Amino acid sequence: MEKSICFYFQVHQPHRLRQYRFFDIGKDNYYYDDFANRTILRRVADRCYLPANRLMLELINKYNGAFKITYSISGSVMEQFESYAPEVIESFRKLAETGNVEFLAETYYHSLASLATPEEFEKQVKRHSNLIEEKLGVRPTVFRNTELIYSDTIGAKVADMGYTAMLTEGAKHILGWKSPNYLYTNAINPRLKLLLKNFNLSDDIAFRFSDKGWSNWPLTSDKYVTWLSDSLIKDEVINLFMDYETFGEHQSASTGIFEFMRHLPQAILSRTAFKFDTPSGIIKRHQPVAPLHVPFPISWADEERDTSAWLGNELQNEAFSKLYGIYQKVAECNNSELNDNFGRLQESDHFYYMCTKFFSDGAVHKYFNPYDTPYEAFINYMNVLSDFLLRVERCSFLSSEDSGTIIATQDTPVIGKERGLKRSKVTVTKNRLNK
């Protein structure tokens, strides 16, 4: 029985919004914090993308093709690479030229479009695949959705778009007694193969590596390989999925994360029967064991492994429904600037910043959040969205009577008015949301 190990890394940075005030609505339609975006992108490039890419290229060359890795790179971060760090694109191109790296398709804007509108979802996926082919010279054949969001219907849609496999989370509430360490298929269209993340082994590196309070700290390559070997008795595929920023950003170089990765391939190749492979290679070498039934969307976020990190409260759902409620109007405008703004406003990060879960996952949400509170994130986003809606209305030649405008400030209620719908009022306070 063949044994495979897949290292997959997500590469993404959002377009962060500037502080956009109530009095900016209708007067200023530039929404982005260029200073923050440039500063953060350069910092992460110097700490993570460039040194990590050098290391991965070194390992590929050292092991003569025995070491393989997989990436997905959002269109949002590719745009920022072009503006602030073009050498990062060149370093990914060098990796692509080795033939030992697979690049996956995803939504161009790292968006939640798969949960909202199939048309926008498909449009973004096609645009992203075209971008990867243009910049890196390879056409993706395997798909990963934003934050590994997946359901039976999403998977069937991906299959209809021609992709052969898809990555998602090995969620316990879906798997039950089954192991994530096998290949599965979509429950509606078995042509789509599913690779499931082993979250325990993945999170040992991504989240627990530098945690000195962890009972297994420090994590060494020898210790980790022992855990991998324990999975060899019956299982076939170990999928290690994580943010690429694990290397050098989330886990700083001082923790030893780069040295850990430098020694890990040798330990795996010399002490186990695992072979490094990419998703395309794995679906050729392994046979699926069963369909995976996922009636409701899952993701790789938080303990729940669902979509509540982005759509778990009224703030998020209000913003989400207002944004995607104007999809058709934006499409009818056929305006490149509006389309670009609409795409960037879809980035899942904006909704993540509004998350109010401050329990076991609070530290993670705090780390990624540039706002002091989720309520501030909501207010800022809704102010931007209000201005964007005004621009869409003007473009569509709609009268104020037929349109809806959402305005939010720290002290001002959010008023939602839609044609034919009941008038609703949402008031934001520091501690609660009243509707």
Residue 137 has a CB neighbour count (10 Å cut-off) of 11
pLDDT of 366 = 60
Structure tokens at 45: 């490039």
CB-neighbour burial class of residue 123 (10 A; exposed 0-12, middle 13-18, buried 19+): middle
- Radius of gyration in angstroms for the set of CA atoms belonging to the chain, rounded to a whole number: 22
Residues 364 and 408 both lie in one domain:
yes
**Is 305 among the domain residues?**
no
Of 263, 292, 321, which marks where a domain is finished?
Answer: 292
Is residue 147 flagged as an active site residue? yes
Residue 425, domain extent: 311-434
Residue 326 lies in a domain: yes
260 and 396 assigned to the same domain: no
Q: Are 1 and 287 in contact (CB under 8 A)?
A: no
Element of type H or E holding 261:
helix 257-271
Is there a domain that residue 393 lies in? yes
Q: Are residues 318 and 276 in the same domain?
A: no
Instruction: Give the full edge-to-edge strand order of the sheet including 424-428.
Output: 414-416, 424-428, 433-434
Give 186's strand partners.
292
Give residues with Cβ within 8 angstroms of 212, minimum separation 6: none
Measured CA distances, 140 to 73, 158, 300, 320 (Å): 11, 13, 22, 29
CATH number of the domain to which 201 belongs:
3.20.110.20
Q: Is 216 among the domain residues?
A: yes
pTM, rounded to two decimals: 0.89
Amino acid at 392: V
Unique residue bearing structure tokens 């939602």 = 416
As separate numbers, helices (DSSP H) first and strands (DSSP E) second, the chain gives 18, 13
Active-site hit among 102, 147, 236, 393? 147
Nearest CA among 343, 351, 350, 345 for reference residue 307:
351
Distance CA 254, CA 389 (A): 46
pLDDT in tens, the chain (435 residues): 789 999 999 999 999 999 999 999 999 999 999 999 999 999 999 999 999 999 999 999 999 999 999 999 999 999 999 999 999 999 999 999 999 999 999 999 999 999 999 999 999 999 999 999 999 999 999 999 999 999 999 999 999 999 999 999 999 999 999 999 999 999 999 999 999 999 999 999 999 999 999 999 999 999 999 999 887 678 899 999 999 999 999 999 999 999 999 999 999 999 999 999 999 999 999 999 999 999 999 999 888 899 999 999 999 999 999 999 999 999 999 999 999 999 999 999 999 999 987 644 445 546 667 899 999 999 999 999 999 999 999 997 653 444 444 444 444 334 333 333 333 334 343 333 333
pLDDT attached to residue 234 = 80
At 302 the pLDDT is 85
Whether the Cβ atoms of residue 41 and residue 20 lie closer than 8 Å to each other: no
Looking at residue 230, what is its pLDDT? 82
CA 87, 93, 94, 95 dihedral sign is positive
Domain count, the chain: 2
Asked if residues 202 and 109 have their Cβ atoms less than 8 Å apart, the reply is no
**What CA–CA distance (Å, rounded) separates 151 from 188?**
10
Quick one: how far is CA 21 from the chain centroid?
A: 28
